[in-house]
Amino acid sequence: MTCKLGTQGVWEPKDAVQRLQQLDAQGRVWSQNLLLQVRDGWLQLLDIETKEELDSYRLDSIQAMDAVLNSCSYNSVLSITVQGAGPPGGSILLFQCPEMGAERLRTSLQKALKEELEAASAPPPAGAQSSLQPRPRFGVPHPGQDRWRGAPLERPLPKEQAAPLEWGPPPEQPPWMAPEHRVPPSPRPLSRHSSAREPSTFALPPPRRPPTPEDPVRDQEVLNHILRDIEVFVQPLMKTQVNASTKKKKKQGKKKNTGPGGRTPAQYVDCFQKFKYSFILLERLANHLQNTTAPELLHRLFRTLHLVLTQCPERDLAGQVISPLLTPEAIDMLKFYLSPPDSNLWKSLGPAWTTSRDNWTGHEVPPYQPTFYDGWQPPEPSNQAPSGYQDPASLRPVQPALRMQVLFEFEARNPKELTVAPGEVVEAPMLRLSSRPEEVRAWLQAENFTPGTVKTLGALTGSQLLYLSPGELQMVCPEDAPRVMARLEASRRMLGDITMSCSKSMVLGYWDIRGLAHAIRLLLEFTGTRYEEKRYTCGGAPDFDKSQWLDVKFKLDLDFPNLPYLMDGKNKITQSNAILRYIARKHNMCGDTEEEKIRVDIMENQIMDFRMQLVRICYNSDHEKLKPQYLEQLPGQLKQFSLFLGKFSWFAGEKLTFVDFLTYDVLDQNRMFEPKCLDEFPNLKAFMCRFEALEKIAAYMQSDRFFKMPINNKMALWGCKRIC
């Protein structure tokens, strides 16, 4: 199991072990048999059957090794802390050692590491020439190994790392990029003999977003020039900001068509376009960064973007910049990596920044061609036949032509090639709901994912893989998670709604009111979970007939028959908060750190107590007599929630959790009961606005599936009508 340092509350080995205990308790740990081998200055992780290298780490990157015994069902765990130069940075590797034992294996590894490091530091005999090729970083194999990462380095890397990225003139080899020869070759769906001809009627379409990882050197040059231009643009704005406090009095004269720093609106538009294009390029280059990571670089970009927005002479100018539209992969990256403040800034810029070209419904957007202050022009894409530079974000998705007819006989020369005969129609790897594990592995290999990811996810069926949540992907393949998620989204779009609707979905049962199911519906919508509703209707006065529910109540095989209930395959859950937690666990929305989990537990129970106070009044025959007393104590109750929220964005902290959905629902009900009740609490009002601005929540609230009323059932004296 691999845990990235700094994510999900993992900062040291004991945090990783605690994470393992949690996943083990939920039955969400997938085991994989491995061999550990120390060789040529590297710690290698090998497949136990094929001996294929799945991953490797430099010995000098190993910071600590610990043995953890009897912590859970995994009773002999070896933890290895490694620090990488590139993303994801530091990681903690956990290994269950049932045969040799974690303590014994740790001792053996420490001895082997010591011997390897001593041998590596010893000077070679005079006149001797080493026959070993220097091994590149990030576990790139020697030529004999069957991996796609490319040839080994031709010379050893320097011991000292380059300085962190500075937005200056692009060097020949940017310090934040991996070496050029780490670039994987273009994935080919089917191998061909050199003499074979591809018939035009069966030819595969061009790649959807050229150039992609096939030309990262070109992309890095473009990105460096974009960062340089942004720096040049921002410099006078920074000076203006510094001098603003000492130059408060300005002469009144003829209005100039320039903003602070002498920048014109057209120059601001050009800068905003470069920000957008930098996100597209950064997504492509995320796996090639060295001395920084994608989240770090994104944070720097957004910090600079915030400065530009504050100095822009036209408030809504950025939101009007449509071209280039972001790629779906870039949008997925931003959703995955941005901190809450940066995410809020991004979403505040509007649809032109948050909508991909695939989902753009406005007018046709022209291709984007950046121009640079120094006159530099991007080189021609090496893998493109047409001349001219075309932004991949401007390309419409094409319908995949996944079949090809064989013209010539060909015999496979290795496991990656096919033996075919003339006249056969062969199909390139494609991910479907019906894909078997071997077909899933073929698709993962064609997408050029790392061997470790192929090994881990290749054990799943197509349906299991397509319905993995982002949180689950992050746990099983942290390094490739953003890219896997992006490719899965593309596969889902390709399959279309008809195919996907054939799959199983959750069933939520409740009365045809808002009630206790409202927060559940909001969470299902936010997480993109497929679900159906079974709504039961209560009869009118005076009998309030509940037979629709009572007739089936004890026929649904529920442990504690009640409403609401949730059915997810064999899992059947009642109790509204148990349902919320079940959904939240699938998407890592129960809090990461111990502090967050404590706040979640407190809020879950406190907000339910608060809810029941209003419920009792609404269903009480003395409603009008009790209402003044409730309103009198309401400010004191809300003040406690306001103090608990404090300066945090969400009630657990800076991470959105399921209690925010619960709290929003209850505060919204009170806001309808007394419209001015939140006026004295700005942070609660901001919380409500922040929640309603969540993209999927906003879309749901505007859909015909959403209903604000009735809150309560027909026997209630308030909130029982469809119009408040």
Residues 6+ apart with CB under 8 A from 339: 295, 299, 654
Largest CA distance in the chain: 103
Structure tokens that stand for 448 in this block: 């050029």
- The confidence score (pLDDT) of residue 195 equals 33
- Report which DSSP code applies to 471: H
Domain 437-501 has CATH 1.10.150.50: yes
Q: Taking residues 265-294, what's their average pLDDT?
A: 84
Q: Taking residues 589-593, what's their average pLDDT?
A: 91
* Residues β-bridged to residue 405: 425
User: Candidates 1.20.1050.130, 3.40.50.1370, 1.20.1580.10, 3.40.190.10; correct CATH number of 506-701?
Assistant: 1.20.1050.130
Q: Name which residue leads in pLDDT, 387 or 631.
A: 631
Q: Assess whether pLDDT exceeds 50 at residue 385.
A: no
Confidence bin at 208 (pLDDT 50/70/90):
very low
Instruction: Using a pLDDT cut of 90, give the percent of the chain over it.
Output: 25
Structure tokens that stand for 245 in this block: 């406090």
Indicate the fold that domain 2-120 takes in CATH. Answer: PH-domain like (2.30.29)
Per the prediction, the chain carries an average pLDDT of 75
CA–CA distance, 586 with 471 (Å, rounded to integer): 7
Q: State pLDDT tens for residues 697-712.
A: 998 998 888 878 899 9
- SS3 for 16-41 is HHHHHHHHHHCCCCCCCCEEEEEECC
Provide the residue ranges of all domains of the chain, joining segments of one domain with +.
Answer: 2-120, 216-242+258-359, 398-428, 437-501, 506-701
CA–CA distance, 485 with 335 (Å, rounded to integer): 11
Least reliable range by pLDDT among 239-253, 449-463, 639-653? 239-253
Q: State pLDDT tens for residues 532-575.
A: 899 899 998 888 999 999 988 998 889 999 999 999 988 999 99
CA–CA distance, 240 with 156 (Å, rounded to integer): 46
For residue 495, give Cα distances in angstroms to 501, 502, 503.
10, 11, 12
Using DSSP bridges, classify how beta strands 403-405 and 90-96 pair: parallel, antiparallel or unpaired.
Answer: unpaired
- The confidence score (pLDDT) of residue 573 equals 95
Residues 6+ apart with CB under 8 A from 191: 410, 412, 416, 417, 418
- Name which of 69, 71, 2 is nearest 34 in CA terms: 2
Sign of the C-alpha dihedral computed for residues 79, 87, 594 and 28 taken in this order: negative
Cβ proximity of 392 and 209 under 8 Å: yes
Q: State pLDDT tens for residues 648-687.
A: 999 999 999 999 999 999 999 999 999 999 999 999 999 9
Confidence bin at 234 (pLDDT 50/70/90):
confident
For the chain, state the CA radius of gyration.
Answer: 29
Q: State pLDDT tens for residues 452-465.
A: 888 888 888 887 78
Q: Taking residues 232-247, what's their average pLDDT?
A: 68
Q: State pLDDT tens for residues 149-161.
A: 333 333 233 333 3
